[in-house]
């Protein structure tokens, strides 16, 4: 393992302060027509926490994540990132999105661009880094995930696991304050799940704030600060992973766990 880290620890320590939560969600509601998907979610996420979200398919996990960075516009309620109200029409959402990395089930890389150009595209285009700075940082990150030799390759020549590690690197290139993961391993062949979870675990150990939707319960047990169960549009249970898995209180969570932990 190299001594390089995926995030800059000094930078991270400087950002880390006690007190107010990094993300605050207040009475968040989201309707799609008559479908009341989120029915009043209240939650706070502090710097360095790793929150794992579980719940039955269709319960609104993706919708919740997407409301955090306004890929979905909340019907009502408030989402805050630090001192910025994310769902205020006056807020520049692009500034918010730079602070929140998002990794999806499907990697969403640009197939016509090399790996290096996929990673450096956004920061260069936005004028945040020169091409040289962006490339240097990208190569360091690629080294960290053992993919430096793929810098000039195109996405289609990489395996799914490699593409997802690149998608993570692409987010990290922007120095996000928090990383959102929406079932990052669900589209992968089983033998590739481990390499992606390993990168996520390293990121977690380095102090990144993370919100992760996953069915990988072993990852949740190992990495989560808290696990939350969403059902019927609300958070039905929240606990440390130890308690969450050993002593689930809500009957619907008990039922859910009996299915996923087989
Ligand atoms: N863009 C959309 N338009 C209409 N309905 C949607 C949209 N996105 C999600 N939904 C609906 O919202 C519910 C929750 O979906 P989702 O958040 O994707 O669930 P999960 O990620 O937990 O499987 C589902 O009933 C889904 O059909
Ligand atoms: Mg989903």
Q: Closest Cα to atom 3, ligand 1: which residue?
A: 32
The answer to whether residues 48 and 59 touch, using CB atoms and an 8 Å cutoff, is no
CA distance 145 to 143: 5
Q: Closest Cα to atom 25, ligand 1: which residue?
A: 58
Q: pTM for this structure?
A: 0.93
Close Cβ partners of 39 (under 8 Å, ≥ 6 residues apart): 29, 232, 233, 234
CA distance 218 to 207: 19
- In the reported structure, the alpha carbon of residue 55 is separated from the centroid of ligand 2 by a whole-number distance in angstroms of 10
Other Cβ atoms less than 10 A from the Cβ of 130: the count is 12
| CA distance readout (Å), 249 to 149, 154, 244, 245 | 48, 48, 8, 10
Other Cβ atoms less than 10 A from the Cβ of 64: the count is 29
pLDDT tens digits, the chain, 262 residues: what are they? 445 677 766 555 544 545 789 999 999 999 999 999 999 999 999 999 999 999 999 999 999 999 999 999 999 999 999 999 999 999 999 999 999 999 999 999 999 999 999 999 999 999 999 999 999 999 999 999 999 999 999 999 999 999 999 999 999 999 999 999 999 999 999 999 999 999 999 999 999 999 999 999 999 999 999 999 999 999 999 999 999 999 999 999 999 999 988 7
Q: Closest Cα to atom 20, ligand 1: which residue?
A: 58
- In the reported structure, the alpha carbon of residue 213 is separated from the centroid of ligand 2 by a whole-number distance in angstroms of 8
Ligand nearest to the CA of 53: 1
Max Cα separation, the chain?
55
Close Cβ partners of 139 (under 8 Å, ≥ 6 residues apart): 116, 148, 151
| pLDDT tens-place string over residues 91-105 | 999 999 999 999 999
Q: Closest Cα to atom 18, ligand 1: which residue?
A: 62
Mutate-to-test residue for ligand 1 from 31, 57, 61, 63, highest number of ligand atoms within 8 A of CB? 63
Residues with CB under 6 A from ligand 1: 32, 35, 37, 55, 57-63
CA distance 166 to 38: 31
Question: Which atom of ligand 1 lies at the shortest distance from residue 183's CA?
Answer: 21
Ligand nearest to the CA of 38: 1
Q: What is the pLDDT of residue 7?
A: 73
Q: What is the pLDDT of residue 1?
A: 43
The answer to whether residues 211 and 225 touch, using CB atoms and an 8 Å cutoff, is no
Q: What is the pLDDT of residue 12?
A: 55
């Amino acid at each position: 393992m190299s001594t390089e880290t995926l995030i800059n620890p000094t930078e991270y320590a400087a950002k880390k302060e006690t007190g107010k939560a990094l993300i605050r969600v207040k009475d968040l509601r989201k309707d799609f027509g008559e479908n009341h998907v989120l029915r009043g979610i209240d939650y706070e996420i502090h710097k360095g926490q790793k929150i794992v979200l579980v719940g039955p398919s269709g319960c609104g996990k993706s919708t919740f994540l997407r409301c955090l960075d306004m890929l979905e516009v909340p019907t009502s309620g408030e989402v805050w990132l630090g001192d910025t109200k994310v769902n205020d029409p006056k807020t520049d959402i692009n500034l918010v999105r730079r602070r929140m990395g998002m990794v999806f089930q499907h990697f969403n890389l640009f197939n016509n661009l090399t790996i290096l150009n996929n990673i450096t595209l956004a920061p260069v285009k936005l004028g945040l880094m020169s091409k040289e700075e962006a490339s240097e940082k990208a190569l360091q990150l690629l080294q960290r995930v053992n993919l430096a030799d793929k810098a000039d390759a195109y996405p289609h020549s990489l395996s799914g696991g490699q593409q997802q590690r690149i998608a993570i690197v692409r987010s990290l290139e922007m120095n996000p304050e928090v990383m959102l993961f929406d079932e990052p391993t669900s589209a992968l062949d089983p033998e590739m799940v481990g390499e992606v979870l390993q990168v996520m675990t390293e990121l977690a150990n380095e102090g990144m704030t993370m919100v992760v939707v996953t069915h990988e319960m072993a990852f949740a047990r190992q990495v989560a600060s808290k696990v939350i169960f969403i059902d019927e549009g609300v958070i039905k249970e929240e606990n440390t992973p130890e308690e969450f898995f050993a002593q689930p209180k809500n009957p619907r969570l008990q039922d859910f766990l009996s299915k996923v932990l087989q």
